[in-house]
Chain A
């Protein structure tokens, strides 16, 4: 009997413990969120960090994560438009519907770059909102963490002080790291690079690295032989130093250019878990800075 009562108490406590459940679309958002909530909330993410963030398979199992979420945090700026809406529709979770309290679109708080004046699909897969890969500017990360904290404070006001403490601690550690990254990246100022997709533009812009061209001729369109020849001939005249290759596009075109020009290929993670070393938001930038300086 006593055991039963104990179990009952345990059960009621178990269900009474209203731990909020946060689901993010990408691992980097989950990593920042974990810095804020620590063990006070459950944090899960939908997309694998090593896949193309534009094309995530809308597996039914992902709706299970969305089904019980109290908060959904998305990157926004059109990055999830190709895979998230059907999952949200299927999950039928009214708490996380867009524009409801349990929904946060980070792109709303960032000054997006490369916002096109006009859009046409003739330009390939352009984002009318601007370049959505803003988290790769390390100066945007504190803004993101701030917005996440404010949102979570609204949903779980009783722990707000705790979250705010974690935020200031996170920002402090981030600023220390920023100083290191800034000094390491200073030597690369003015260096010219190619990249596969306009994935690293925020990072490059921050450190005054010049992106001369992309391996894909238009966003979302695979490289043509003609375009690759152009890149090869331009590499010398423009004095390009390296090719920044992401982990999910085929590396063959980069290798081809490298063979013809001797350009160095640098494989960079774009998200947490894209490569083994990038375990969280700190080591993601550590890895990028380190690999670019090699």
Chain B
């Protein structure tokens, strides 16, 4: 038994040893394979690293701008600092019942001598096609302390700097200082550019009191957003006093005789700056309705020199203008709203008028003007691209006193306007407006009824900043 056992064990041992030998061989083979694999892997890793390095290099070159464009471009390029530039063009077709000759000769009595003085060409002046303007806007931040804005009004016979002003970015206590040539904060519509108006033309009271360019002045403005729980913007302005209808600042010399044979009376320049304004504008919300109201005041000395006219005359004195405004905008949804806007403006002039009687002798009566009017307009934006609106204009106070005697000028000067706007996009506007205008008179105070239709195209390109409320 023992023998057998030993024999099988020996046999087993032998076969076991054989198996181990085989296993060892197998293991050797495996090791070789592993080594080979390891080598392959190393090679692959190396290759991958190479590719990665190459890609990185390529990317870096790209970022470094090793492209032909970069190599050709100016190494001192400041292209990234180009300001926002935009161009807005206004073009219209006008159909008017008054002939162009009549339209040029008429006026709003007591306010001005028509809209065409001093070579000014108002908007939509002729029957037929009118290229009203192209306006170029340039705006950018100057540095951490200032922004700069330039608005250049280009039309067929001229180039005007409409606005050119800086404003501060960094004053404490919610203060802002503005300086240069700009539209006064007086009233609601005054500082808005023509392309954001709700109608193709300015309200009657604006045209009558301020003239075609509104209150556009040279000076400074300090405004302050008060720390009240509701919106309250207040501020004041100091201007040189450029507005020709109301202020001006340069004195004049009047001869006591029309033909110039008498003595000279010298009216000196006003103090400069000459015009001071103040405004306070609170706003609050009631549900989906935002209401913005405001009171504005402007005061300055007046020097009006029309001594070169066929009927030479001049005025010197003080002018005070008061403005009251209210705007209510009710938001219906993202694309529809109702807007109601109204302004009342009152002007008082007190001074002396220099003119001549029939025999050519100077007359210097005390001259007082108390004039006022308002407009009220309602706009309904009834679809994403459509707006419709109505406006009523009225000048209801037109008292002009010569030595205390009222000249009884017309004081029922009115106009109705209706418009419909189509906005193909945010950047274009096509507007059809109808004016039933009863504000125009001949020199001998005969009313000249005017009906007009204006088809307006207003388009904008470039980077134009968003508009406020």
- Contacts from A to B (Cβ < 8 Å): 51-52, 55, 57-61, 63-64, 67-68, 81-87, 89-94, 97, 100, 121, 124-125, 220-222, 248-250
Question: B70 CB to closest chain A CB, in angstroms?
Answer: 18
Are B174 and A221 interface neighbours, CB within 8 A? no
Q: Which residue of B is nearest A56, CB measured? A: B334
Query: With A57-B329, A67-B174, A222-B385 in contact, is A90–B225 under 8 Å at CB?
Result: yes
Q: Determine whether B28 belongs to the interface, using a CB cutoff of 8 Å to chain A.
A: no
Are A124 and B335 interface neighbours, CB within 8 A? no
What are the residues of chain B within 8 A of A61 when measuring CB–CB?
Answer: 230-231, 283-285, 290
Are B468 and A90 interface neighbours, CB within 8 A? yes
Q: Give 14 A-B pairs besides A86-B466, A248-B333 with Cβ atoms closer than 8 angstroms.
A: A52-B335, A55-B334, A57-B290, A57-B337, A57-B469, A61-B283, A61-B290, A64-B228, A64-B231, A90-B468, A92-B224, A97-B170, A121-B427, A220-B426
Q: Determine whether B169 belongs to the interface, using a CB cutoff of 8 Å to chain A.
A: yes
**Pick from B171, B225, B384, B426: contact of A82, CB under 8 Å:** B426
| Bitwise interface map of B from 317 to 335 toward A, beta carbon under 8 Å scored 1, else 0 | 0000000000001010111
Are B466 and A84 interface neighbours, CB within 8 A? yes
Q: How extensive is the interface on chain B, given as a class?
A: 35 or more
Q: Which residue of B is nearest A249, CB measured? A: B334
Are A60 and B231 interface neighbours, CB within 8 A? yes
Q: Which residue of B is nearest A82, CB measured? A: B466
Are A51 and B333 interface neighbours, CB within 8 A? yes
Complex Cα spacing A132 to B231, Å? 30
**Pick from A55, A87, A221: contact of B335, CB under 8 Å:** A55
Are B227 and A51 interface neighbours, CB within 8 A? no
What are the residues of chain A within 8 A of B331 when measuring CB–CB?
Answer: 57
Are B335 and A92 interface neighbours, CB within 8 A? no
Complex Cα spacing A87 to B225, Å? 12
Complex Cα spacing A52 to B336, Å? 12
Q: Determine whether B176 belongs to the interface, using a CB cutoff of 8 Å to chain A.
A: yes
Complex Cα spacing A82 to B426, Å? 10
Complex Cα spacing A135 to B260, Å? 79
What are the residues of chain B within 8 A of A250 when measuring CB–CB?
Answer: 384
Q: For chains A and B in complex, what number of residue pairs have CB atoms within 8 angstroms?
A: 95
Complex Cα spacing A89 to B427, Å? 22
What are the residues of chain B within 8 A of A63 when measuring CB–CB?
Answer: 225, 231
- Contacts from B to A (Cβ < 8 Å): 144, 147, 167, 169-172, 174-176, 223-225, 227-231, 233, 283-285, 290, 292, 329, 331, 333-335, 337, 384-385, 425-427, 461, 465-469
Question: B333 CB to closest chain A CB, in angstroms?
Answer: 7
Complex Cα spacing A89 to B227, Å? 16
Complex Cα spacing A67 to B331, Å? 23
Are A222 and B384 interface neighbours, CB within 8 A? yes
Complex Cα spacing A94 to B173, Å? 9
What are the residues of chain A within 8 A of B465 when measuring CB–CB?
Answer: 85-86
What are the residues of chain B within 8 A of A59 when measuring CB–CB?
Answer: 283, 285, 290, 329, 469
Q: Which residue of A is nearest B170, CB measured? A: A94
Are A92 and B469 interface neighbours, CB within 8 A? no
What are the residues of chain B within 8 A of A91 when measuring CB–CB?
Answer: 174, 225
Are B385 and A90 interface neighbours, CB within 8 A? no
Are B175 and A92 interface neighbours, CB within 8 A? yes
Complex Cα spacing A90 to B167, Å? 11
Are A92 and B466 interface neighbours, CB within 8 A? no
Complex Cα spacing A100 to B461, Å? 30
**Pick from A52, A67, A81, A125: contact of B466, CB under 8 Å:** A81
Are A64 and B384 interface neighbours, CB within 8 A? no
What are the residues of chain A within 8 A of B425 when measuring CB–CB?
Answer: 121, 124-125, 220-221
Complex Cα spacing A60 to B468, Å? 9
What are the residues of chain B within 8 A of A92 when measuring CB–CB?
Answer: 171, 174-176, 223-225
What are the residues of chain A within 8 A of B172 when measuring CB–CB?
Answer: 94
What are the residues of chain B within 8 A of A90 when measuring CB–CB?
Answer: 225, 233, 468
